[in-house]
Amino acid sequence: MNIRTGITLIAVLAAMTVPAALAQSAGADIYKTKCQMCHGASGMAESGAGKAMKVKPASDPDLKKMSEVQMVDAVRNGMGKMQPYKDKLTDAQIKSSVTYFRTFVK
Protein backbone atom coordinates (compact mmCIF):
# COMPACT_ATOMS: atom_id res chain seq x y z
CA MET A 1 0.00 0.00 0.00
CA ASN A 2 1.42 3.39 -0.91
CA ILE A 3 1.12 6.52 1.24
CA ARG A 4 -1.66 8.06 -0.87
CA THR A 5 -3.80 4.91 -0.54
CA GLY A 6 -3.13 4.80 3.21
CA ILE A 7 -4.16 8.43 3.70
CA THR A 8 -7.31 7.89 1.62
CA LEU A 9 -8.21 4.83 3.69
CA ILE A 10 -7.75 6.76 6.94
CA ALA A 11 -9.90 9.63 5.63
CA VAL A 12 -12.69 7.26 4.60
CA LEU A 13 -12.65 5.48 7.98
CA ALA A 14 -12.70 8.81 9.83
CA ALA A 15 -15.64 10.03 7.74
CA MET A 16 -17.57 6.86 8.60
CA THR A 17 -16.83 7.15 12.32
CA VAL A 18 -17.87 10.79 12.80
CA PRO A 19 -21.55 10.38 11.75
CA ALA A 20 -21.87 7.28 13.95
CA ALA A 21 -20.43 9.17 16.91
CA LEU A 22 -22.76 12.12 16.29
CA ALA A 23 -25.78 9.82 16.06
CA GLN A 24 -24.72 8.09 19.27
CA SER A 25 -24.39 11.47 20.99
CA ALA A 26 -27.81 12.64 19.76
CA GLY A 27 -29.37 9.39 20.92
CA ALA A 28 -27.73 9.73 24.33
CA ASP A 29 -28.99 13.30 24.68
CA ILE A 30 -32.56 12.32 23.81
CA TYR A 31 -32.39 9.29 26.08
CA LYS A 32 -31.20 11.45 28.99
CA THR A 33 -34.00 13.99 28.56
CA LYS A 34 -36.91 11.70 27.66
CA CYS A 35 -36.13 8.16 28.83
CA GLN A 36 -33.68 8.15 31.69
CA MET A 37 -36.22 9.23 34.31
CA CYS A 38 -37.92 5.82 34.01
CA HIS A 39 -35.35 3.56 32.35
CA GLY A 40 -32.40 4.77 34.44
CA ALA A 41 -28.96 6.05 33.50
CA SER A 42 -27.77 2.59 32.44
CA GLY A 43 -31.07 1.19 31.17
CA MET A 44 -31.51 -0.94 34.28
CA ALA A 45 -34.70 0.84 35.47
CA GLU A 46 -32.94 1.73 38.71
CA SER A 47 -34.69 5.10 39.02
CA GLY A 48 -37.48 5.71 41.50
CA ALA A 49 -40.01 6.08 38.68
CA GLY A 50 -38.70 2.95 36.97
CA LYS A 51 -39.04 0.91 40.13
CA ALA A 52 -42.51 2.32 40.91
CA MET A 53 -43.77 1.55 37.39
CA LYS A 54 -42.00 -1.82 37.30
CA VAL A 55 -40.10 -0.93 34.14
CA LYS A 56 -38.14 -3.88 32.78
CA PRO A 57 -34.36 -3.44 32.81
CA ALA A 58 -32.35 -3.65 29.59
CA SER A 59 -31.10 -7.05 30.77
CA ASP A 60 -34.63 -8.51 30.75
CA PRO A 61 -34.86 -11.45 28.30
CA ASP A 62 -38.08 -10.08 26.76
CA LEU A 63 -36.38 -6.78 25.97
CA LYS A 64 -33.30 -8.53 24.64
CA LYS A 65 -35.50 -10.42 22.17
CA MET A 66 -37.06 -7.23 20.76
CA SER A 67 -35.79 -6.08 17.40
CA GLU A 68 -34.87 -2.48 16.74
CA VAL A 69 -38.08 -2.08 14.71
CA GLN A 70 -40.17 -3.38 17.63
CA MET A 71 -38.46 -0.99 20.03
CA VAL A 72 -38.94 1.97 17.70
CA ASP A 73 -42.62 1.03 17.41
CA ALA A 74 -42.92 0.79 21.22
CA VAL A 75 -41.43 4.27 21.66
CA ARG A 76 -43.50 5.73 18.83
CA ASN A 77 -46.85 4.28 19.96
CA GLY A 78 -46.27 3.61 23.65
CA MET A 79 -46.10 0.26 25.42
CA GLY A 80 -47.58 -0.72 28.75
CA LYS A 81 -47.38 2.35 30.98
CA MET A 82 -44.98 4.13 28.62
CA GLN A 83 -46.57 7.04 26.81
CA PRO A 84 -46.31 7.35 23.01
CA TYR A 85 -43.67 9.73 21.73
CA LYS A 86 -44.85 9.98 18.11
CA ASP A 87 -46.08 13.54 18.69
CA LYS A 88 -43.09 14.60 20.81
CA LEU A 89 -40.10 13.22 18.89
CA THR A 90 -39.29 12.85 15.21
CA ASP A 91 -38.80 9.38 13.75
CA ALA A 92 -35.05 10.09 13.57
CA GLN A 93 -34.96 11.08 17.25
CA ILE A 94 -36.89 7.96 18.25
CA LYS A 95 -34.55 5.76 16.22
CA SER A 96 -31.42 7.38 17.67
CA SER A 97 -32.70 7.04 21.25
CA VAL A 98 -33.52 3.37 20.61
CA THR A 99 -30.08 2.83 19.10
CA TYR A 100 -28.55 4.31 22.23
CA PHE A 101 -30.79 2.23 24.53
CA ARG A 102 -29.79 -0.92 22.65
CA THR A 103 -26.18 -0.38 23.77
CA PHE A 104 -27.45 -1.38 27.24
CA VAL A 105 -29.26 -4.50 25.99
CA LYS A 106 -26.12 -6.51 25.18
d(CA 19, CA 97): 15
d(CA 45, CA 101): 12
Whole-model pTM? 0.75
Indicate the number of domains in the chain: 1
Q: Cα 15 to chain center, whole Å? A: 22
Residue 22's pLDDT is 43
Higher per-residue confidence, 65 vs 2:
65
Q: Looking at residue 45, which CATH number applies to its domain?
A: 1.10.760.10
Find the domain containing 55 and state its range: 3-105
> Residue 106 — pLDDT band, cuts 50, 70, 90?
confident
Question: Which of 101, 103, 104, 96 is CA-nearest to residue 25?
Answer: 96
Query: Which residue type occupies 99?
Result: T
> Residue 1 — pLDDT band, cuts 50, 70, 90?
low
Phi-psi category of 67—alpha, beta or left, where left has phi over 0 and alpha has psi -120 to 50?
beta
> Residue 2 — pLDDT band, cuts 50, 70, 90?
low
d(CA 77, CA 68): 14
User: pLDDT digit string (tens) for 40-75?
Assistant: 999 999 999 999 999 999 999 999 999 999 999 999
Compute the chain's Rg from CA coordinates: 17
